[in-house]
Amino acid sequence: KKARVSCSLPEPSWEERLANAVTPLWRLPYQEQLQVKYESQRKILQTLASRLEELGIDAQKPGGLCCPLQPVVPSPIINGYRNKSTFSVNRGPDGNPKTVGLYVGTGRGRNIVCVKANHVENIPSKHKQVAQCYEEFICRSPLDSCILFHEGGHWRELVVRTTSCGHTMAIITFHPQQLGQEALATQKALLKEFFTCGPGAVCALTSLYFQESTMTRCSHEQSPYQLLHGAPHIFEELLGLKFRLSPDAFFQVNTAGAAVLYQAVGELCQATGDTVLLDICCGTGTIGLSLAHRVSKVIGVEVVKKAIEDAEWNAAFNGISNCEFHSGKAEAVLPQLLASWEDARPLVAVVNPSRAGLHYRVVRAIRNCRSIRRLLYISCKPEGEAMRNFLELCCPPDPRKKLAGKPFAPVLAIPFDMFPHTVHCELVLLFTR
């Protein structure tokens, strides 16, 4: 009998598995990555056209799209472009429960392994250096890592933020479990000493923050960020403006890509000197402030209170006086703002929500405000909850849902590659009515 020849490929290394999970397009030349993304965005617009047809709206354009799709705008920086990285603490491939890295596997599959991210192409070397130092610190610590909350342990994730000004902020999350204030103070002192006088000093941190958290995601309001060392903020420069960043303030993860995106948004707004710009989910005010010189007024709305404080500081520091910012959930703030809107000036809306999309009350307020004729929707996941918003913006009026305003129609789509090596794109969809 002939011996069987095995054709099975060797198992990929843990490094390859992580690269495939986090940056699935890393093996492709950049131009091929852009083509892959163009095709995925084209399918999204085809889906939207089909969904609109189901609502009785004739939305089919050439190629079965709901509107023309421009080529993907490339990122000015392809490697190490991220200005924010979140590292987890868990068991590594060697069983070390204090490995600082990124996950391979899923919680549902119960096969999670934490792999060091030293080779991942979209993470800058500074982030990797801080992660390596944090791992060294917690390996020296007698306290365990917190892998499952109910099983105890303390050391949790690390967030690193950097800016083109050379600033570095590290935010360390810690589960207090049953520790008293004196024991907590000891840990904070040890952490500060490590990153200021010990081996971690090589990171040259601008800011070191500590957050005690008993939940997976925790806001500043739920548990304040405690500054252990350095300045309370880091600073970024974008389109000739200076921006102040708090620990949890939103900022586009690709700064160079954001400059290209915001310039294009300014062109698409077609704003004139008497235009009022409504910046919904404004974060630290980057979009509104970068366009303030083109319009008569900017109104920003943002749920994160610290981000609004940053936005107001940013406006004052840059000498911009035609901006006002409102803190609170958009679904609570916007209907009040627009219900009594009687300003005769043209009103243009820009929305840049999280992956969860806009609350229905926000869409309804936009639809029912006749002054808004032009709307730019910026989405990092247009195939997700944003798709629901697109349909709500374009569907016929529905008295039962208190949707009285004239529907919008998609007229142009431009994808921006803010996330090289991944499958994700930032899609700007222009709606008019």
Task: Report the catalytic residues.
Answer: 380
Return the structure tokens found at 26: 């890393």
118 is in an annotated binding site: no
Going by C-alpha positions, the residue among 194, 49, 182 that lies closest to residue 134 is 194
Q: Which residues contact 370 (CB under 8 A, 6 or more apart)?
A: 405, 406
Residues pairing with 184 in the sheet = none
331 is in an annotated binding site: no
- 206-220 exposure pattern, b = at least 16 Cβ within 10 A, e = fewer: bbbbbbbbeeeebbb
237 is in an annotated binding site: no
Binding residue positions: 252, 302, 352
Binding residue positions for S-adenosyl-L-methionine: 252, 302, 352
